[in-house]
Structure 1
Amino acid sequence: MKILDKYLLKTFLITFTTVFVILFFIFILQTVWLFIAELAGKDLDFVLVLKFLMFSMPRIIPLVLPLSILLASIMSFGNLAENYEFAAMKSSGISLQRSMRYLTVSILALSVLAFIFANNVIPYAEFKFINFRKNIAQVKPALAIAEGQFSDVGLYNIKVDKKSGENGNFLSGITIHKKATGGDGSKTVIKAVNGELISSEASSILQLVLNDGNYYEDITPKKYEDRQKLPFAKSSFKKYTINIDLSKLNQVDVDEKDVASTNTMLDVNELRYTIDSLNTSYKTEIVSYSENINLRTGIQRATPPLSTKASYKPRQIPSDILSKFSKEKQSEILKIASSNLVSTNYSIDATKVNLENKQKNINNHLLAFYDKFVIAYACIMMFFIGAPLGAIIRKGGLGLPIIFAVLIFISFHFINTFGKRMAQENGITPFLGAWMSSMILTPLAVLLTYRATNDIGLINMDVILSPFQKLFKKLFPPKKKA
């Protein structure tokens, strides 16, 4: 490796490391802000908060890494061009491609590391992160309930005035609102003087034992005039136990993904196996339902068996078959047929929704599969956008490069999000949804590399203004000299 290559590599790596640390810190603050409801007011010690952040850090890398490469490339090559170092290299016979040779190798190695990280570290971190959020409530159940405010715990909203004990599991001044199943507000209120939270790591059931309290429940009379009296039932108790299922306690993710879906916790081989199993199950269910609906409706297959194909004759159904029956019988037959038709339509609609959900699940797994390759390719693509762009604009520092980097990355992220949403809803194929942003920005990388290699500016104003100049000369021809 020559001195020039070492200099370029050192300049790029220093800039990349600085940018990566700054952006990573910014995204960590964003993560803390998104999960502030789970961290604030829960008496979490520093170790638990640190674990929480450590498990959430790997999911930030796919966002920070391409942006860091893009910004570092623009800044590094912009500084070199601004200080006329590229001009000195070109005068010595060193082209832009030659100066980018070792940096390209380094970016390729970084993209391989990004793939390994996305394939191994991120799935493991996702698994630990989701289970850590669930286990916080199981190991220290009092952490799920904050003092002086209502905390959403399963089917209950719980408020306590004071927590005590080593793990804060002894409660006093308890008020509980039970959520109504019909979605029309809370009709049950439980108040108790004190209570205790009991749990174990082996069970996902959290027991809340209440002492010396009252149970209030609103009653909705059938008659409207009786509802204005607002009747309710009241009972008192010395001891009352509530069992809370913690298996669904922390299943709400900031990205609105179901935690039960394991697509983000699997590597490439596991995803390939899971996708194959899901596709087999999907096709089997379609065949099974089609055969079941044929038997249910009594519809014969349109194609006869091969052995009887020569002598096969379709059954002829008389068009006036109802006329063979009496009026009462005709009415009964039509009612049964109508009922069967409605029932069949309901069954078809329900199965359609179920199959659509299964297809969405398959699409999510396919997107997770392609994402591991997209992040590796995005590192290479962002380098070949940033490096030529920096050489063209000839501006280093944190001014113009940040503007270009943010605009390009926002476009990349927006197209990527749009493509994934379309693929999840089965509007486009998962392959196209995952690779849409890369397909759109790759021509930009090729164009910028070509223009930077041939010393062409970012925008050739002569090409844009030439048609207007010709039109102006035709409309207003110059006067001939006498």
Structure 2
Amino acid sequence: MKILDRYILVSYLQTFFTVFVILMFIFVLQAIWLYIGELAGKDLDVAIILKFLLFTTPKLVPMVLPLTILLTSIMVFGNFAENYEFAAMKSSGISLQRAMRSLTLFILLVSVTGFVFANNVIPAAEFKILNLRKNIAKMKPAMAISAGVFNDVGNINIKVDKKTGDNDQYLHNVIIHMGTERGGDYTVIKSKEGELVSSEKSNVLSLILTDGNYYREVEPSDYSKRDHKPFAKSHFSEYTMNIDLSSLNQVDMEDESYTSQSMLRIGELTKSIDSFSTALNERKEAFAASMYGRTGVETLDRNFNPVDSVTPKEIKNSILDEYDTQQSLRMIDDAIRTTNAAVSHLSIKKQEFKQSVRRLNKYEIALHEKYVLAVACIVLFFVGAPLGAIIRKGGMGLPMVIAIIIFLTYHFIGIFAKNSAEDGSVSPFIATWLSTLIMLPLGIYFTYRATTDQGLFSFDSITRPISKFLKKMALIKHKDK
């Protein structure tokens, strides 16, 4: 390696690792703030908190690494241009491409490392962090009652408007939904005031409610009476509920029974996508056959017989003219009933297929994201390096502002596209690659401008045609005179 390549590479690496550590620290703090509600008040060990931070860090790399490359490239090459080091290189016959050669090899190495990291480390960390968060959420649910939202505590779902008291033990405007073993919330309790009473050594949480009402939906054994929706209602001045927390407080922090698409590698995602696609297509075909069977077209001639006295020439309004009045009424009733059932069944299946498509799209997005990280590192390097050489400004001032603007544009385009891809509005492939594909021509443009020693924008290409047009108009007016 020549001295110049070593100098450029060392300068880049020093800034790269410094920026990476700073940005990672900022994003980790943001993650802690995001999950502070899950950690606060749980009496967690230091080891569990450190484990939480350790498992959170890898999934931040897809955001931190591209931003680090972009910002470092602008800072380093802007510093070279500001100190006229590029001018000295060019006077010695060294072009910008030659100066970027060692860094290009380094970025390629970083891209390959990022791809391996996204395919192996991030899924493992996602697996660990999700299971750890689920287990932490189960601990001390009495402290997990947040005001203004419904909270799952034991076998009840509770919402309070506000909490008061030294330990937030007094609850105001309490709404409780009690579930059943078969599912569904058939009991609703509303109370103006409530108080949480428990001890640290007790596994029972007592909830004392005052001045409230108790509603319970009654399920009659006779199905014909269920349409009336009977219910029982009672008023109470004081009502005490005891919630058993013994099973919830016995949380195994090593339990790893939760999974999602972000935990899978490329091979596992490919298999999952194939199986989901095959299953979805089979379900659609079976649904189409079922809907055709529901129409009753195949059995229509078995249940109704045309009137022999009516000939096809006598049919003026509809096919019902072939049948007598009684059969026509039966056919209309059957058609209305079948249509209503079909519409209801269609609406249910539409939501099921929509959720299946959303799930399939999420798996496809997760698959393409692993490749996008590697390509984005290369593209953003060729955006930042020539841009730094053009603006000729190093340090943390202007380069930081430009890098943040470019990265936020890149990041938010990706977020909006992926959100649109989940419901099928955009192809998952296009949505995942859209922001990178938008940055690619920008990188080519900046590289061309920096290589040819041109500014960021060429205003002559805009002003020259206008000036020529004005001159022609002036000559025409002069000739007319």
TM-score range (shorter-chain normalised) is 0.7 to 0.9
**Distance (Å, rounded) in 2 between the aligned partners of 1:412 and 1:474:** 43
User: What does the per-residue CA deviation read over 1:70-119, in whole Å, with 9 as the maximum and x for residues that have no partner?
Assistant: 01001101111111111111111111111111110100000111111111
**Distance (Å, rounded) in 1 between the aligned partners of 2:347 and 2:145:** 47
Aligned to 1:9: 9
**Secondary structure in 1 matching 2:204:** strand
Aligned to 1:194: 198
**Distance (Å, rounded) in 2 between the aligned partners of 1:52 and 1:97:** 43
**Distance (Å, rounded) in 2 between the aligned partners of 1:146 and 1:182:** 21
Aligned to 2:177: 179
User: What does the per-residue CA deviation read over 1:336-393, in whole Å, with 9 as the maximum and x for residues that have no partner?
Assistant: 2101111011112221221121111111100000000001101001111111111111
**Distance (Å, rounded) in 2 between the aligned partners of 1:473 and 1:236:** 91
Aligned to 1:463: 461
User: What does the per-residue CA deviation read over 1:153-202, in whole Å, with 9 as the maximum and x for residues that have no partner?
Assistant: 34235989799xxxxxxx9989985237779985268756436788xxxx
**Distance (Å, rounded) in 2 between the aligned partners of 1:260 and 1:422:** 26
The residue type paired with residue 198 of structure 2 is N
The residue type paired with residue 41 of structure 1 is G
Aligned to 1:120: 120
Query: Does residue 450 of the first structure (1) align with residue 448 of the second (2)?
Result: yes
The residue type paired with residue 5 of structure 1 is D
Q: Is the Cα contact below 8 Å between 2:39 and 2:136 reproduced in 1?
A: no
**Distance (Å, rounded) in 2 between the aligned partners of 1:372 and 1:343:** 44
Change (3 A) 1:89 1:377: same
Change (3 A) 1:172 1:416: closer
Aligned to 2:265: 267
The residue type paired with residue 152 of structure 2 is V
Q: Is the Cα contact below 8 Å between 1:144 and 1:153 reproduced in 2?
A: no
**Distance (Å, rounded) in 2 between the aligned partners of 1:324 and 1:373:** 65
Where do residues 216-365 of structure 1 align in structure 2 (5 Å cutoff)? 218-219=213-214, 232-233=235-236, 240-242=242-244, 262-299=260-297, 322-323=320-321, 325-365=323-363
Q: Is the Cα contact below 8 Å between 1:77 and 1:396 reproduced in 2?
A: yes
Q: Post-superposition shift, 1:469?
A: 2.1
**Distance (Å, rounded) in 2 between the aligned partners of 1:6 and 1:142:** 56
Aligned to 1:92: 92
List gaps (5 residues or longer) in structure 2. 179-183, 218-232, 252-256, 300-311
Q: Post-superposition shift, 1:324?
A: 5.5
Aligned to 2:158: 156
Q: Post-superposition shift, 1:300?
A: 5.4
**Secondary structure in 2 matching 1:178:** strand
**Secondary structure in 2 matching 1:179:** strand
Q: Post-superposition shift, 1:270?
A: 0.6
Aligned to 1:49: 49
User: What does the per-residue CA deviation read over 1:439-474, in whole Å, with 9 as the maximum and x for residues that have no partner?
Assistant: 111011111111211212211222222122223333
Change (3 A) 1:172 1:19: closer
Aligned to 1:136: 136
User: What does the per-residue CA deviation read over 1:15-35, in whole Å, with 9 as the maximum and x for residues that have no partner?
Assistant: 111111111111112112211
**Distance (Å, rounded) in 2 between the aligned partners of 1:221 and 1:372:** 51
Change (3 A) 1:290 1:183: same
**Distance (Å, rounded) in 2 between the aligned partners of 1:217 and 1:479:** 93
Aligned to 1:401: 399
**Distance (Å, rounded) in 2 between the aligned partners of 1:246 and 1:336:** 52
**Distance (Å, rounded) in 1 between the aligned partners of 2:242 and 2:464:** 86
List gaps (5 residues or longer) in structure 1. 164-170, 199-207, 223-229, 250-258, 302-315
Change (3 A) 1:102 1:335: same
**Secondary structure in 1 matching 2:140:** helix
**Distance (Å, rounded) in 2 between the aligned partners of 1:221 and 1:288:** 39
**Distance (Å, rounded) in 2 between the aligned partners of 1:297 and 1:244:** 54
Q: Is the Cα contact below 8 Å between 1:43 and 1:143 reproduced in 2?
A: no
**Distance (Å, rounded) in 2 between the aligned partners of 1:384 and 1:86:** 17
Aligned to 2:75: 75
Query: Does residue 370 of the first structure (1) align with residue 368 of the second (2)?
Result: yes
**Distance (Å, rounded) in 2 between the aligned partners of 1:59 and 1:116:** 13
Change (3 A) 1:17 1:143: farther
Q: Is the Cα contact below 8 Å between 2:187 and 2:214 reproduced in 1?
A: no
Where do residues 424-443 of structure 1 align in structure 2 (5 Å cutoff)? 424-443=422-441
Aligned to 1:252: none
Change (3 A) 1:347 1:455: same
**Distance (Å, rounded) in 2 between the aligned partners of 1:409 and 1:26:** 16
Change (3 A) 1:173 1:445: closer
Q: Post-superposition shift, 1:438?
A: 1.1
Change (3 A) 1:243 1:337: farther
Number of residue pairs matched by the alignment: 429
User: What does the per-residue CA deviation read over 1:275-307, in whole Å, with 9 as the maximum and x for residues that have no partner?
Assistant: 011011001101111122222223459xxxxxx
User: What does the per-residue CA deviation read over 1:410-433, in whole Å, with 9 as the maximum and x for residues that have no partner?
Assistant: 111121112212211211211111
Aligned to 1:253: none
Q: CA RMSD in A?
A: 3.8
The residue type paired with residue 209 of structure 1 is V
Q: Is the Cα contact below 8 Å between 2:131 and 2:258 reproduced in 1?
A: no
The residue type paired with residue 295 of structure 1 is G
**Distance (Å, rounded) in 2 between the aligned partners of 1:465 and 1:53:** 55
Where do residues 410-429 of structure 1 align in structure 2 (5 Å cutoff)? 410-429=408-427
Q: Is the Cα contact below 8 Å between 1:423 and 1:433 reproduced in 2?
A: yes
TM-score (norm 1): 0.78
The residue type paired with residue 274 of structure 1 is S
Query: Does residue 29 of the first structure (1) align with residue 29 of the second (2)?
Result: yes
**Distance (Å, rounded) in 2 between the aligned partners of 1:212 and 1:375:** 50
**Distance (Å, rounded) in 1 between the aligned partners of 2:207 and 2:338:** 56
Q: Is the Cα contact below 8 Å between 1:137 and 1:144 reproduced in 2?
A: no
User: What does the per-residue CA deviation read over 1:390-415, in whole Å, with 9 as the maximum and x for residues that have no partner?
Assistant: 11111111122112211211111121
Q: Post-superposition shift, 1:236?
A: 6.1
